[in-house]
Structure 1
Amino acid sequence: MTASGVKPFRFGVNLILPDSREAWVAKCRRVEEIGYDVLTVADHLGMAPPFPGLVLAGEVTERVRLGTFVLNVGFHRPAVLAREVTGTDQFVGGRMELGLGAGYVKAEFEAAGLDFPRAGQRVDHLEHTIKELKRLYADPEHQPAPVRPGGPPLMIGGRGDRVLTLAAEHADIIAFTGTAKVPDGSGLVPAAPDGISERVSFVSERLGDRTAEFNLLAHFVIVTDDRQRAMAQLHEQVRGALTLDELAAAPTALIGTPEEIAEQLVAHRERFGISYFTVLEPNSEAFAPVVELLHGR
């Protein structure tokens, strides 16, 4: 915590592009070199496998935390997942952070030969997985043993009431969904800031005496000397889903010079309590000067 009680910034990169071993090693080292705090791996078919990717990342880095953003629990059964998590955390020297979600891409379930359950059933499995992981971590006979009591820090990501209630009850890190579908149903746009504020309030009311770090994946990062022009272009692309004022205040649309984006992030932390921001791999280099500006704040 900072002197004012605000959590200090953390910045992560979510690696989404599969690569050769040599290229993977190079980009993992680069994430650490340019100042990021966390390196995460997604869990989608066609992308790098999460656990081997993290183990290799751990072998070639020293400082960054290493996480999943986020595992689709529909692909995993708790006992096997507990083995993968604790074993990976052992191999990366206790630097792992485990991100879990209920899964949402029907085509991926089908491609994996799995039924696509109703939303409520997917959340049921997420809840079951969380509780089973905690039980297995606490079992003194479980091998590989957790590096720390209770296992690695837990992130839960989502937008619905049940998922966010689970997050408020169990998660160390809560990842809010910062996008919405465009009115015609195709593509994504930044979520309206009032909607994110409502979700943050929903979680905060349910945390009780617990504390958690709030995360957001910034899908729309445009580093430019002409913020107004870039805003106008993005506003055209989102097809009226947001007003210009809403777009300017959206915490997943980070647009401007590094200094302007740094100011936006400070304002977002003040309004939403979000201190941990993740960017997608293609934006990591352009966003790095922002990370440098806010280091230690």
Structure 2
Amino acid sequence: MNVAVVMGGYSEESVISLRSGQLILNHIDKSKYQAYEVHILKDGWNCVIEGQKYPINKADFTVTIDQQKISFDVIVNTIHGTPGEDGHMQAYWELLELPYTGCSFYQSSLTFNKRDTLSVLSKFNIPKAKSIYISQGDVIDGAQIEAELGLPFFVKPNQSGSSLGVSMVSTLEDLPKALDFAFAEDNDILIESYLNGTEVSVGVLHFNGATKVLGITEILSQNEFFDYEAKYLGKSEEITPARISKELEALVIETAKKVYQSLGMVGFSRTDFIIMNGIPHFIEINTNPGLSPQSIFPQQAAYANIPFSDLLDNEISLALQRKLIWKR
């Protein structure tokens, strides 16, 4: 079976995605699959073999190598950010009837939009921070924001990952810089109240016919919050399993599963919560979680004692089932 392991993307997260793709290439069962490394980058779409680039034909997502046209049976999608985590590539592959791993184009688009995700989850009574939504060009009243949310608060791009463009505002003097930082990533931003509690990250997936939580990881950032530097440059301590009571662990697992199912998810995901006053508050969900050696999801797979090759087999199986549904 020819498998395209697709990585990269058009955002600053592409560097992390390329690392994630390498982990998949290292763990995929080579007795079952012929894996091809495919880079989707601003400077081109290419299949990369021993450093040599072979252009991907965008008309049918095939590649020609040594005058032989190669088609892919399934796509393993590990692009972080646009266009592989926001639904664009998923819609394209679906038009070509190419099965792909992870959630559908709709769920990808929905969960990449923080505002819309929060709106959907509010219907399912998922606890979350108070928030204000602002677009580029809106009149912004810092005093009103403080009155509604208190200080400190967070300023976030509405559509971005890896904490890019996120700032914590402790005084209103910090607000203009935080707005510029967020608007550099997206034209819409979300301003959220500060949740004072324990941060945890929960790996959830559909595995062997059921929604499964891999583990709960406690995040101890050396910085003000779990930002890009803390996530990828070693400025945090990640403890699996989290140091919480059995009762609280059960509540986090229940809430994480509820989020996953409420959003109609399929595939790998990592959901972040802040536990405040004994209640897990939803922060965000990542539908293509980082799979680099520094990432949380692979750590949780090891904790769950599930070989990563088995997780990939499961993802590919789910992708092929999706194709069967299309053909009904």
TM-score, normalisation: structure 2: 0.31
More strand by share: 2
TM-score, normalisation: structure 1: 0.33
More helix by share: 1
- State the structure with more CA Rg: 2
